Structure 1
Amino acid sequence: MAMDFSGIPAARLRRHARRAQAAWACQAMLLAAACALAQPAWSAEASKAAPDPVLATLQKIQDAARKLDYSGVYTYQQGGVMLSSRIVHLVDGTGERERIEMLDGAPREFLRHNETTQCLVPEKKVVIVERRRGDRFPALILGEGKGIPENYHYMQRAGTSRIAGRECSVIELTPKDSHRYGYRLCADIETSLLLKAQTLSQHGGVIDQISFSSLQIGDKVPSGQLASSWNTKGWQVFETAMTPVDLAKGGWRIPFPPGYQPVTQVSRPMKRGKQVKQLVITDGLAAISVFIEPYDTDGDTALANGAVSTGAMNIFRTRIGDHWLTALGEVPAETVRDIAERTEYVPLAGR
């Protein structure tokens, strides 16, 4: 765990990070959706124009997550923390329908119909609506994914493994540099559905992992499982309003690590009525968000620059002039720190 750099205990910074993450609660869970804003998803048609065996394999995994009917329980493990969720995914004449219910911690539900996702927050009786594609596990690719072969070594291991009672083949993606983690994937042999994904350190150790513990695939999945367990009558409904922005024209010079490309730049409302700008960059598998918010002379005086690390998630926060800049992503700590420390704000640069 990294310490902050101004004498304020790291525990205090961690509390602030948790508050910030809570303020972003459903938006953070929809990070994959933001990654798809600016570019269309990589498609089978694109693969015909430029066939690549790595992308072809990963696209089968992506297609399985989007086109199959399945339901089950998966567990996300990060250090000593384990959180389980129940997922139901069906495809009918109206497109994709999905329900994710968090089984541990504060109750949360995510109801998705194609590009529209509702995040249910029962303790506040609030529904947050976001009209963006919300791919999550067992989906895999972010954006177009074309740069994946340039940034990762691909290897399919001999033999098979067994997850949730199903045979799966093991794929390893090893980073070609220090700006990203590696991944070990286990894809169902019969359907190519992703059954387990592990994030690997530079030394091959498992940083975090997500895996099905029970799973049904096919027409045995009842559509009744898509219904929410909450009666939301009378709940407040908020829709996330996002406006496209051009950070470079606004004077922001944000360096991208090699292999990462911007996929969206938006302004969105956040806590205390602030407008927060968000940049999302991705290499096709890993994603990094950069949040820029105004510095509040009344409420932010106790905050400081610093770093927080939890499993694969790393956060680095710094003050640049009259702004706070926060870089976060499931990438090495040095990657988000480098982005934050090298970012410059020159208001006249874009004029």
Structure 2
Amino acid sequence: MAKQVLAFRAHRHAVREGTLSRLGVVFMLLACTMAAAAQGAQADDPLAGEVTRFLQQTQQAARNSDYSGVFTYQQGASMQSSRIVHVVDGTGERERLVILDGEPREFIRHNDTVQCLVPAKELVLIEKHRMDRFPGVLLGEGHHLDDHYTLRLGKHPQRVAGHECVPAEILPQDNLRYGYRFCVDPESKLLIKAQTIDDRGEVVNQIAFTSLQQGSEVQARELQSSWDMRGWRTVELPTKAVDVAGLGWRVALPPGFVHSTQISRPMKSGKPVMQMVLTDGLAAISVFIEQFHPAQESRLMPKGAARNGAMSIYGTRIGDHWLTAIGEVPADTLRQLVEHIEYVPPGGAPQ
């Protein structure tokens, strides 16, 4: 159980020290790449349904407006606070995210380039892809969200972090995904609070601003890192696009989910790990595929399912490979996904 708790925490932590275990590498990659599912949400799409239009408005507010503040994320028994500054200027989007609890960590983003700062190691990890975070929640364009979710707007305003907001529920139409409760600023359309709800109506995680400034109240000087990075080591995390199907993997996607990202990365040992990111527009699942070595079995997650808050994980062996699926979906969704994955080596039979 301790290893599972550590893994769940690693999913939310941005980086880890250079001497990572195999499992640590996998979850570090997930933390830095899960949000790569987010690509170009379009506002005012005439073909979009009400769920999609609602989320596209909040996404555009998260990308196109100036705001700063502190938000708190609660997952299971753990809680973490972060400070965010987001400014749009003549060069595009600029953002600084500082983790306020535990090991110091900081993210600095300019458009699609993200620097993950690890002060304890005097290390900067660079990712070149879009990384939307709260208050942005839409992954991809979300054109088919209305096929799987229903929007229900609240009638009575609420108050969060000193701001009035309009409540909304986005309810799943099946048991493969969670529901959500949002509270949105009625003027700016910025998302102020988000809760994830399971099939019993219980809150399994939540994230909300505890302080918030918008517009002219935001100071661009807050984008400057508090760390002097002169002399720090800079590492650009290498990735290579892969065709999972072309490599012999047969993946039956859950209804409504599509492939967003398929990449391969080298681990510290030099061995590659493949990552598939699947999304339905709100929920995201990462599936990691790596070679299985019996001598290192103790360093892998236990076989089967585990859960912490909204985060589920499922691990299993397929032939000479180990698969780890993780995402904010019910554990049974991951089980169905992984158990229906087949590997067919060239000229061979399914494993």
One fold, TM greater than 0.5?
Answer: yes
Answer yes or no: is 1:90 the counterpart of 2:87. Answer: yes
Which residue does the alignment assign to 2:32?
30
TM-align CA RMSD: 2.0
- Look up the SS of the partner of 1:300 in the other structure: helix
Which residue does the alignment assign to 1:44?
43
- Look up the SS of the partner of 1:265 in the other structure: strand
Aligned equivalents of 1:219, 1:21: Cα separation in 2: 44
Answer yes or no: is 1:263 the counterpart of 2:265. Answer: no
Q: Is the 8 A contact 2:84 2:97 kept in 1?
A: yes
Aligned equivalents of 2:347, 2:153: Cα separation in 1: 47
Aligned equivalents of 1:239, 1:309: Cα separation in 2: 32
Q: Is the 8 A contact 2:25 2:267 kept in 1?
A: yes
Unpaired stretches in structure 1, ≥5 consecutive residues:
1-9
Give the residue type in structure 2 aligned to 1:75.
Answer: T
Q: Is the 8 A contact 1:65 1:139 kept in 2?
A: yes
1:138 to partner: Cα distance: 0.2
Answer yes or no: is 1:222 the counterpart of 2:224. Answer: no
Give the residue type in structure 2 aligned to 1:261.
Answer: V
Q: Is the 8 A contact 2:22 2:299 kept in 1?
A: no
* Deviations, residues 265-306 of structure 1 (Å, cap 9, x unaligned): 111122322211111110000000000011124322564413
- Look up the SS of the partner of 1:337 in the other structure: helix
1:128 to partner: Cα distance: 0.6
1:117 to partner: Cα distance: 0.2
* Deviations, residues 80-121 of structure 1 (Å, cap 9, x unaligned): 221100000000000000000000011110000000000011
Which residue does the alignment assign to 2:17?
none
Aligned equivalents of 1:165, 1:22: Cα separation in 2: 39
Aligned pairs, number: 337
Cα distance, 1:51–1:250 mapped onto 2, change above 3 Å: closer
Q: Is the 8 A contact 1:90 1:97 kept in 2?
A: yes
1:60 to partner: Cα distance: 1.0
1:53 to partner: Cα distance: 2.6
Aligned equivalents of 1:21, 1:71: Cα separation in 2: 34
Which residue does the alignment assign to 1:334?
332
Q: Is the 8 A contact 2:26 2:288 kept in 1?
A: no
Aligned equivalents of 1:225, 1:138: Cα separation in 2: 18
Q: Is the 8 A contact 1:290 1:326 kept in 2?
A: yes
Aligned equivalents of 1:349, 1:290: Cα separation in 2: 24
Specify which of 56, 77, 80 is matched with residue 74 of structure 2.
Answer: 77
Which residue does the alignment assign to 1:6?
none
Q: Is the 8 A contact 2:161 2:211 kept in 1?
A: yes
Which residue does the alignment assign to 2:50?
53
* Deviations, residues 113-163 of structure 1 (Å, cap 9, x unaligned): 000000011112111100000100000110111111111011001111001
Aligned equivalents of 1:140, 1:123: Cα separation in 2: 30
Q: Is the 8 A contact 1:293 1:325 kept in 2?
A: yes
1:309 to partner: Cα distance: 1.1
Give the residue type in structure 1 aligned to 2:305.
Answer: A
Aligned equivalents of 1:117, 1:110: Cα separation in 2: 7
Aligned equivalents of 1:221, 1:248: Cα separation in 2: 46
Aligned equivalents of 1:315, 1:142: Cα separation in 2: 20
Q: Is the 8 A contact 1:139 1:194 kept in 2?
A: yes
* Superposition TM-score, scaled by structure 2 size: 0.91
Aligned equivalents of 1:11, 1:62: Cα separation in 2: 36
Answer yes or no: is 1:280 the counterpart of 2:282. Answer: no
Which residue does the alignment assign to 2:18?
none
Specify which of 169, 173, 176 is matched with residue 172 of structure 1.
Answer: 169
